[in-house]
Chain A
């Protein structure tokens, strides 16, 4: 299973903002159980999509050298459910970026409807310690997530 909860970037401005979309297909496994006759996207996975959009924005800011991990969800508000058949748009803005980590604010829309808002903090795993534990390999941005950004650039050019 690929842990990817965004389909494509629509916009990407380095160190500033990004916008991505996620199409909610009725065929996705999760809708089989969540819920059988009411296919609603779990709020936690909406947040994951927002975190992936923001995490790539944060990772790209340092050319993917840092291991960017979700550290804290400062706040999150959910305004309505998102159902299979809808397209979610994740818009994030970089609020802070420091050597130790970053914060983004984000909003999720379905059409013109505001579905959710959140502020998410990411930490850069301590470089010396994470290298001891995980080695040189950046397991966060191993390939799939970076390819998403490559696709966005390809479509733009």
Chain B
């Protein structure tokens, strides 16, 4: 079982290759879209590369769901994610820092959940069997 540091290093390398960014730009708190410039198609590329470099299987929508709320008013009201929506995020993305997002739960900022640290935690969970 690789250490957290080893997993982080490999995730960072994977993101550098996929997004063509400099290693110094890849920090744990860096957001994939906002800071590292990922576009929608890059998420599929990242999934391919993580599967290959870690030998894991990533089911469709598990790491990068295409749509979590699907416009459901129970989850989103007036551009903000509701308490039920926050709970949904905790269930669907247990490896994301939902607490941080919950402080200012604007739907427009939901992309900020997807950080380098989040991907690292996901891979770590996959490798140690926390989520299969």
Residues of A within 8 A of B (CB): 71-72, 74, 95-96, 98-101, 103, 121, 123
Query: Which residues 36-89 of B have a CB within 8 angstroms of A?
Result: 41-42, 44-45, 47-48, 51-52, 60
A103 to B42, CA, bound (A): 12
Chain B residue nearest to A102 (CB atoms) is B48
Given known pairs A95-B52, A96-B52, the reply for A101 and B60 (CB within 8 Å) is: no
- Among B18-35, those with CB < 8 Å from A are 18
Distance between A73 CB and nearest chain B CB, rounded to angstroms: 11
Smallest CB-CB A-B distances: 7 pairs: A71-B41, A96-B48, A103-B48, A100-B44, A101-B44, A72-B41, A121-B45
Question: Does B44 lie within 8 Å of A71, measured CB to CB?
Answer: yes
What are some 30 contacts across the A-B interface (CB < 8 A)? Answer: A71-B41, A71-B44, A71-B45, A72-B41, A72-B42, A74-B17, A74-B18, A74-B45, A95-B48, A95-B52, A96-B48, A96-B51, A96-B52, A98-B44, A98-B47, A98-B48, A98-B60, A99-B60, A100-B44, A100-B47, A100-B60, A101-B44, A103-B45, A103-B48, A121-B41, A121-B44, A121-B45, A121-B48, A123-B41, A123-B44
| Complex alpha-carbon distance, A143 and B48, angstroms | 30
Task: Please indicate the chain A residues that have their CB under 8 angstroms from the CB of B52 in the complex.
Answer: 95-96
Given contacts A98-B48, A100-B44, A100-B47, 14 further A-B contacts (CB under 8 A): A71-B41, A71-B44, A72-B42, A72-B45, A74-B45, A95-B48, A95-B52, A96-B48, A96-B52, A98-B44, A98-B47, A100-B60, A121-B44, A121-B48
The interface residues of chain B lying within 8 Å CB-to-CB of A74 are 17-18, 45
Residue of B nearest to A71 (CB): B41
**Which residues of chain A have C-beta atoms less than 8 A from B17's C-beta?**
74
Which residues of chain B come closer than 8 Å to A123, judged between CB atoms? 41, 44
The distance in angstroms between the C-alpha atoms of A99 and B41, with both chains bound, is 14
